Amino acid sequence: MSEMDLEAARAALRAHTPAALLELPEGQWLDAKTAPYELRDPHGVEELAKDVAAFANGGGGIIVVGIATRLEHGREILDKVSTVDRVSVDLDQWRKLIRQHITPAPRGTSVEWSDDRQGACVLYIDIPAQDPGCLFVVAAPVGKKGAPRTDTVAVPVREADGTHWLPRTELQRLLSNGVAASGMPTAQALAELLRKAVAQRQPEAGPQIGQGLPSRRQEIREAYEQLRTTGLGRPIGEAYARGPAAIQEFTGGEGQPGWVLCLVGGRAPVAVSQPVWQAIRAAGQDRAGGHPLAVVGYPVPGADRANHHGPWAVPPDAPSVDLDGGSWGAGQLVRSGRDVWRWDPAERLGFVMSRYSRNWTAQQPAPQLRLRALVTWPWANTTGLQIAPGKRQDLERTLPHSTLAGAVTLLSQRRGVELPAAHWDRGPWRNTPTAVSYTSTIMAPDGSRALSAAVMMSVEDTVVTCADVLIEDTSAWAAMLPGDAGTRLGLDEVQALLLAAWESAAKTLPDAIVDPARMRWSAPPTTELRLSAEGPHDQPSPGLGSLIDLEALGPGEDGVRPEMAVTITRSPTMHREERQAVLRRALVHMARHFGYVWAEEELL
């Protein structure tokens, strides 16, 4: 069942994410304790020394204290963080007892805390791999108070998920063989004999290829034979099923990371380097409920393998890996220049609106036309995010010179008059440490509102950013224009305004709280683009065709429809040229869905 190796588990604990170890089975390198050792009792001290020495004799491992287990198919599975009270544990005492009761003291052994933002707190003992020529022993257990005996010896060994004493008969045989081999029972000779003795006590061949999934064993064996040239070594655990996939872990070559063999029905089998596999799992681990792979999916061949249909491998230096089959839909895991992995969704266009789509629309009087770009940022770990005063000041200085202000100003310039969106006021919505609202309004001489641009942001359970361009009153705007200038927008103007609004919502606003490139997703991000003819609530809404020239889209519904919208599922962070291309595709997709079946990108 394990999907994390020793190094990945160490990294998770050091990164203060102990919950990442949940669902791992206890095994050769991992042991879990619900509660701390009772060190006031000699039995507790003996158990501590025994467990640590066993891992030192067995190649290293981790003892994590504060995680309860459950029994599943005869194996103990890490099930729930039970949390350890820091006040009840003296780390220095634990370190001192390990040095005192194990001979020799294992080098590099550390005793540390690992706690996360949700209040979970565990203690872990990390025992690194030791000198292969060194044998670690403890005093024979007596369970009595007082100093440990110096005239007795016992050898603890780790076997699968249990820690045991090497039997007296084995000790006698080791001593005899050591004397016979070297004339004296040296530590190096005993250590080598100990390893052989422990190996003899294990099943003859260890885990087998396909063991654990009888119905798919032959399939796994065939895939292994096809992919073994990539460096697959011996199995390090039984095969297991995870959703539609059959999975088994293997060692790598000498000094190389291990591999994970993944088989999904209907697809070519793939061998994924262990570090990349851990990155795939980590991409979905912040999703509440469910297994990470059920969220992000499983590796699929990318465009570079379009003409190849056989088994393939994802090496440790792969820059990216395509994924599909999870609840998030198709996506790609990409490695940044800082060697940090990030999942982003593949582009999808649809019409499902979020529950935030109508936010910030209750102003009175309602505008005649609204052009909106709204971005939902479902980042993981947003607890504590706020708009710092300095960032708010930067935003206030940026808005008068933003692309959004320029696009609104250009509307009137193209009609022969200079009406800049240069002054931005706070409101009309909330401005708090977790909310932003700024508006620039162009007023007619009679005091009526002609045009507005607005930006809004909410930093609460989910970060939402929004930018609107509002034609408040065409009559008020027309009164400020030359006599022959019209107020009906062209499709080129609609594109320019939506592009500027999207850029403000996707770049200007989120920069006020975080660097979006450093955040991980807890769900796919979306951008919603909307055109809506509104007007007074007590009157019929005008059709979009009366406010926007839609003729370039071809025959349609004569502009009577009051609203059109489209949802883009894709990372909102992109270059301007790329954003323009996505915008054109989205507008064509939207137009066709709403009756303009002849719409083409060339028309835009």
Same domain, 510 and 494: yes
Is residue 207 in some structural domain?
no
pLDDT at residue 82 in the model: 86
In terms of Cα–Cα distance, which of 176, 51, 172 is closest to 106? Answer: 51
pLDDT at residue 543 in the model: 87
Last residue in a domain, options 301, 320, 344: 344
Same domain, 445 and 304: no
pLDDT in tens, 561-576: 899 999 999 999 999 9
Same domain, 222 and 135: no
Is residue 454 classed as helix, strand or coil in its secondary structure?
strand
pLDDT over 90, % of the chain: 53
pLDDT at residue 152 in the model: 66
Question: Which CATH number is 122's domain given?
Answer: 3.30.950.30
Helix (H) / strand (E) containing 169: helix 168-182
Reply yes or no on whether the pLDDT at 176 is more than 90: no
Is residue 237 in some structural domain?
yes
279 neighbors 330 (Cβ within 8 angstroms): no
Mean pLDDT score across all residues of the chain: 86
pLDDT at residue 427 in the model: 93
Given pLDDT bands bounded at 50, 70 and 90, which one contains residue 375?
Answer: very high
pLDDT at residue 187 in the model: 53
pLDDT at residue 177 in the model: 63
pLDDT in tens, 83-103: 888 888 888 899 999 988 998
Same domain, 288 and 393: no
Given pLDDT bands bounded at 50, 70 and 90, which one contains residue 191?
Answer: low
Given pLDDT bands bounded at 50, 70 and 90, which one contains residue 209?
Answer: very high
Is residue 181 in some structural domain?
no
Same domain, 382 and 334: no
Same domain, 373 and 467: yes
Is residue 18 in some structural domain?
yes
Is residue 133 in some structural domain?
yes
How far is CA 204 from each of CA 189, 201, 225, rounded to the nearest angstrom? 23, 8, 21
Mean pLDDT of 50-59: 90
pLDDT over 70, % of the chain: 87
Overall domain count for the chain = 3
pLDDT at residue 72 in the model: 84
Is residue 87 in some structural domain?
yes
Q: Quickly count: other Cβ atoms within 10 Å of residue 446's Cβ.
A: 7
Q: What is the DSSP string of 389-427?
A: HHHHHHHHHHGGGSHHHHHHHHHHHTTT--------EE-
Given pLDDT bands bounded at 50, 70 and 90, which one contains residue 204?
Answer: very low
Is residue 598 in some structural domain?
yes
Same domain, 21 and 77: yes
Mean pLDDT of 473-493: 93
3-state secondary structure 328-351: CCCEEEEECCCCCEEEEECCEEEC
Reply yes or no on whether the pLDDT at 178 is more than 60: no
Same domain, 492 and 563: yes
Is residue 272 in some structural domain?
yes
β-bridge mates for residue 416, sequence order: none
Q: Rounded to whole angstroms, how far apart are CA atoms 322 and 330? A: 8
Same domain, 427 and 339: no
Q: Tell me, rounded to whole angstroms, the distance of Cα 237 from its chain centroid.
A: 26
Q: Residue 305 sits in which domain range?
A: 214-344
Q: Rounded to whole angstroms, how far apart are CA atoms 241 and 195? A: 32
pLDDT at residue 1 in the model: 43
Given pLDDT bands bounded at 50, 70 and 90, which one contains residue 155?
Answer: confident
pLDDT at residue 186 in the model: 56
Place of tokens 């959004």: 404
Least confident of 17-21, 111-115, 537-541: 537-541
What is the radius of gyration, based on Cα positions, of the chain? 32
In terms of Cα–Cα distance, which of 53, 65, 54, 3 is closest to 28? Answer: 54
Q: Tell me, rounded to whole angstroms, the distance of Cα 571 from its chain centroid.
A: 14
Q: Rounded to whole angstroms, how far apart are CA atoms 384 and 311? A: 45
Task: State the maximum Cα–Cα separation within the chain, in Å, rounded to a whole number.
Answer: 112
387 neighbors 456 (Cβ within 8 angstroms): no
Last residue in a domain, options 292, 313, 344: 344
Q: What are phi and psi of 273, to 5 degrees?
A: -60, 140
Last residue in a domain, options 344, 374, 402: 344
Same domain, 360 and 330: no
Reply yes or no on whether the pLDDT at 174 is more than 80: no
Same domain, 280 and 366: no
Same domain, 151 and 218: no
For residue 383, what are its two tokens?
């607890």
pLDDT at residue 7 in the model: 87
